[in-house]
Structure 1
Amino acid sequence: MSADRYAVVGHPVAHSLSPRIHQAFGRQLGIALEYGTIDCPPEQLPDRVAAFAADGGRGLNVTLPHKRAAHALCTELGPTAQRCGVVNTMAWTGDGWRGHNTDGSGLVRDLTERRRQDLRGRKVLLIGAGGAAHGVAPALLDAGISALFIVNRTDARTDALADLLADPARVHPRYYEDMDDLGPFDLIINATSMGHDAGDGDPVALPGKMLTPRTDVVDLSYGRAAVGFLAWARAAGADRLFDGLGMLVEQAADSFRIWHGKRPYTDEVYEELRKEFGFPLASD
């Protein structure tokens, strides 16, 4: 009997660590699986997802730029996907796809359990209003933060995310050009590609007064893709710096549980990847 088939779909996707992570989880729990990658441009997503199901595919992880479109392809939605409006995990039910989102639970678990962060009562700045921001925002609110300020280059997307969250007492959409007047913050999260092309000596330009020496900073990217943003944070005096590698592993573990009914241990997989993607700016 052949192993069940899973994959991550995105564009581009060759760089994804998801196959490696899920194969490690499978070995840990003695679950045979095949896990590959599907690189497809947005216009091909419906056909490629349908073909994967027709060929026996049981589950998909979804990454950029498909998280919004994947939401529309699902015939059922879990409560988190309903709430955030984007999907990063799809499970085949036999009649259609059931969509989930594990990004937020992955981020919060990484911050609170691995990093020992207490999110309760914290004033948070979320930079970005795309799929990644949609995925993590509800979980941050559930973790007890006191205020969530959202900024994005496109004001309409900022307002749309704030409206979706439906928590006007804590959620505050702001214009990107107003960031200089918003701080300071307890926690700043970059959910954009800002800084991906910046090197260690060329950090992104953002107002330093958003930070105090007690501000923690997270980039949802990992490894070299997070260098530019975290270099800015270090230069501005941030307290602790985290990239998104831990979130990646934790959200994958939550996806694995959805598909297989068991949640793997993550520390060993995380430590192996951290050694490979060692990052001197992060505060591990």
Structure 2
Amino acid sequence: MPRKFAVFGHPASHSLSPRIHAAFAAQFDQTLQYDIIDAAPEQLADALERFAAEGGVGANITVPHKVAAFELCAEVTDRARRSGAANVLTRVGDGWHGDNTDGTGLVRDLTGRRRLDLRGRHVLLLGAGGAARGVAVSMLDAGVRRITIVNRTPANADALVDTLAAPDHVGSRYWKDMRDIGDFELIINTTSAGRSGEMLDLPSSLVNTLTTAVDISYGEVSIGFLSWARAAGCRHAFDGLGMLVEQAALAYEHWHGKRPDTDEVFADLQSHSVEFASGD
């Protein structure tokens, strides 16, 4: 039975993961079967088991399944455990092994491609879902000074603070207090606002002369937040396309034992970025 790979999400048809992994495989003259599987939350467990029964050995996990996928794993890496979310699954025996490459992918994009030094920065993290969890862990590992988490459901922000278990470096604030929480060197948007067409109500007081703003989505979904960032005076404003490519490369290397060149794949996707409308 041939080895199969896939991305699981809901919705999932927008995903660039098949295109990215096909580009990686082409670098090594490799033929790869990589599918898109749209599974509603209540269908995820069964969909993953059917996938495994049909030869599935590697799965990328996107919105809204990253926390649920973590809970379905028999084993997880340390970074997945610390975040409580998984975006890369590998079939090992009769169970799934989970990892979280989201945050590491973002750090690689920001420190490598964008040449940013994250050490000592005060970070504002908007959102507290599965992607935010992985991002927070890797930001701490990269040496940021502090992360302030703000979510429209305060209990979710508090839960993420508890999961991270780093009270000296992580705290939460209320969304309604946004105008009074100071300014930040890095603002990361992980919310779903762009996917629903919603504009975030963010004050320009969050921005200083050094601020970099990042939306982990890409294409049309990121336009609203990045437009705010530029109007507010952020020094840099990036979407999540680089993060997407880098986290995919980490998964590919884990599954195939080969590290792909991400720069050429990123450049190709960026040249066609107007075609894309979401984030994985």
Structure 2 distance, partners of 1:186, 1:19, is: 34
For 2:67 and 2:84, locate their aligned partners in 1 and report how far apart those are by CA, in whole Å. 7
5 Å-filtered alignment, 1:255-266, equals: 255-266=251-262
- Give every structure 1 segment of 4 or more consecutive aligned residues whose post-TM-superposition deviation is greater than 3 Å: 195-199
Provide the rounded CA distance (Å) in 1 between the counterparts of 2:3 and 2:55: 8
1:228 aligned partner: 224
- Corresponding position of 2:278: none
SS in structure 1 of the partner of residue 187 of structure 2: strand
Separation of aligned partners in 2, 1:55 and 1:168 = 44
Q: How does 1:60-139 map to 2 (within 5 A)?
A: 60-139=59-138
CA gap of 1:85–1:197, structure 2 versus 1, over 3 A, is closer
SS in 1 for 2:93: coil
TM-score by length of 2: 0.95
User: 1:194 deviation in Å?
Assistant: 2.3
CA contact (8 A) 1:194 1:228 kept: no
Correspondence for 2:16: 17
Counterpart of 2:212 in structure 1: which amino acid?
A: D
Unmatched segments (≥5 aa) in structure 1: 280-284
1:282 is matched with which residue? none
Distance across 2 between alignment mates of 1:204 and 1:160: 22
Cα drift, residue 197 of structure 1 = 5.3
| Contact 1:6/1:57, CA 8 A, preserved across alignment | yes
**Paired residue for 1:210, among 206, 209, 212?**
206
Mapped to 1, the partners of 2:128 and 2:75 lie a distance apart of: 24
Q: Does 1:243 align with 2:239?
A: yes
Look up the equivalent residue of 1:6 and give its one-letter code.
Answer: F
What are the Cα deviations for residues 192-242 of structure 1, in whole angstroms up to 9, with x where unaligned? 02244559xxx6431110102321100000011000011111111111000
Answer whether contact 1:205 1:232 (CA < 8 A) is retained: no
Alignment of 1:147-166 (within 5 A): 147-166=146-165
Percent identity over paired residues: 56
Distance 1:77 1:41 in 2: 23
Distance, in Å, in 1 between the alignment partners of 2:201 and 2:128 is 19
Structure 2 Cα separation of the partners of residues 166 and 211 of structure 1? 27
- Report how many residues are paired: 275
Question: Which letter maps to 1:102?
Answer: T
Unaligned runs of 5+ in 2: 276-280
SS of the residue 1:246 aligns to:
helix
Q: Tell me the amino acid that sits aligned with residue 168 of structure 2.
A: A
Q: Give the deviation of 1:183 after TM superposition.
A: 1.9
Please name the residue that 1:269 is paired with.
265
User: In the aligned structure 1, how far is the partner of 2:207 from the partner of 2:261?
Assistant: 34
TM-score of the superposition, structure 1-length normalised? 0.94
Residue 65 of structure 1 aligns to a residue in which SS? coil
Q: Is the Cα–Cα contact under 8 Å of residues 198 and 227 in structure 1 kept in the other structure?
A: no
> Deviations for 1:14-59, whole angstroms, at most 9, x for unmatched residues?
0100000001111112332200100011111111100000011111
Write the distance in 2 (CA, Å) between the matches of 1:3 and 1:107. Answer: 32
Aligned mates of 1:76, 1:30 — CA distance in 2: 31
Matched, 1:145 2:141: no
- Alignment partner, residue 29 of structure 1: 28
Contact in 2 for aligned 1:112/1:118 (Cα 8 Å): yes
Q: Is the 8 A contact 1:195 1:225 kept in 2?
A: yes
Structure 2 distance, partners of 1:38, 1:196, is 19
CA–CA distance in structure 2, aligned partners of residues 225 and 278 of structure 1: 11
**Alpha-carbon deviations, 1:90-130, whole Å to 9, x = none?**
00112211011100110000000000000000011000000
Within 2, Cα distance between the matches of 1:153 and 1:66? 19
Distance in 2 separating the partners of 1:56 and 1:195: 35
CA distance in 1, matches of 2:92, 2:255: 10
